[in-house]
Amino acid sequence: QKEVEQDPGPLSVPEGAIVSLNCTYSNSAFQYFMWYRQYSRKGPELLMYTYSSGNKEDGRFTAQVDKSSKYISLFIRDSQPSDSATYLCAMSANEDTDKLIFGTGTRLQVFP
Amino acid sequence: ETGVTQTPRHLVMGMTNKKSLKCEQHLGHNAMYWYKQSAKKPLELMFVYNFKEQTENNSVPSRFSPECPNSSHLFLHLHTLQPEDSALYLCASRHSTSTDTQYFGPGTRLTVL
């Protein structure tokens, strides 16, 4: 079983839709959770960074962590064509952010 | 664009060639990382350097040889690679004395013929 599972997609939605991206994980030691956005031919760009459980909001983006279910989500409101990218979840155990464990990434396409 | 730069952005090499990838970070970080990103696979951590010392070698074949002359620069020397080594090689950095996460460069797209 992979430590982090992420549906590769592609997920195709119309502009303005609410997008939900998810990852599940198996290691209960994970405390730090990240979402990276990666455009084609670019490196991953940090989008959201959360510690432990709860929600974090930044503009149109909301990151949610449910440690009891070992499940994290990224919601994108009012999605735009510029949001079309691959979204990678990543996580690490307490104070050991040298070792990020990544999901395979979900490719999102937002069409006008 | 990020404060982590990588050169070259694209590289095509034969299996008998020797080449080097370069990474430079302008963020004042002291930890640097090499990752391999292949299609449909998670990012694979290859090497970690903290304060110029290698602290992690994730069972990487010896045909990949890292070098970290200072906290701002990281190299990956390549020799006698295999076609399956073709991938996007990403460099990242962070401040190891905090819980801050890693920031990535744009990557080098490597093709081994």
User: How far is A95 from A8, CA to CA, in rounded Å?
Assistant: 28
List CB contacts (< 8 A) between B42 and chain A: 2, 4, 101-105
End-to-end CA distance of chain B: 30
Verify whether the Cβ–Cβ distance B45 to A42 is below 8 Å. Answer: no
Verify whether the Cβ–Cβ distance B90 to A43 is below 8 Å. Answer: yes
Per residue of chain A (112 residues), what is the pLDDT tens digit?
A: 679 999 888 999 999 999 999 999 999 989 999 999 999 988 999 999 998 888 999 999 999 999 999 999 999 999 999 999 999 999 998 666 678 899 999 999 999 9
Which pLDDT score is estimated for A2?
A: 78
The radius of gyration of chain B from alpha carbons, rounded to an integer in Å, stands at: 13
Q: What is the pLDDT of residues B79-107, one digit of tens each?
A: 999 999 999 999 999 987 776 788 999 99
Q: How many residues does chain B have?
A: 113
3 state SS of A19: strand
Looking at chain B, the whole-number percentage of residues with pLDDT higher than 90 is 74
Which pLDDT score is estimated for B95?
A: 87
Where is average pLDDT lowest: A19-33, B28-42, B52-66? B52-66
Which pLDDT score is estimated for A94?
A: 66
Verify whether the Cβ–Cβ distance A43 to B2 is below 8 Å. Answer: yes
A46 interfacial to chain B (CB closer than 8 Å)? yes
List CB contacts (< 8 A) between A99 and chain B: 45, 56
Question: Residue A52 contacts by C-beta under 8 Å, 6 or more apart in sequence?
Answer: A31, A65, A67
Residue B101: which of A2, A4, A97 has the nearest Cβ?
A97
- Answer for the pair A54, A68: CB distance below 8 angstroms, yes or no: no
User: How far is A86 from A38, CA to CA, in rounded Å?
Assistant: 5
Mean pLDDT highest for which of B20-34, B54-68, B91-105? B20-34
A103 interfacial to chain B (CB closer than 8 Å)? yes
User: How far is B73 from B32, CA to CA, in rounded Å?
Assistant: 8
User: How far is A37 from A45, CA to CA, in rounded Å?
Assistant: 5
- Answer for the pair A33, A89: CB distance below 8 angstroms, yes or no: yes
- Answer for the pair B100, B94: CB distance below 8 angstroms, yes or no: yes
3 state SS of B84: helix
Q: Is the dihedral of CA A96, A99, A103, A109 positive or negative?
A: positive
- Answer for the pair A87, A35: CB distance below 8 angstroms, yes or no: yes
**Any idea what the Cα angle at residue A20 is, between residues A14 and A24, rounded to 5°?**
145
3 state SS of B85: helix
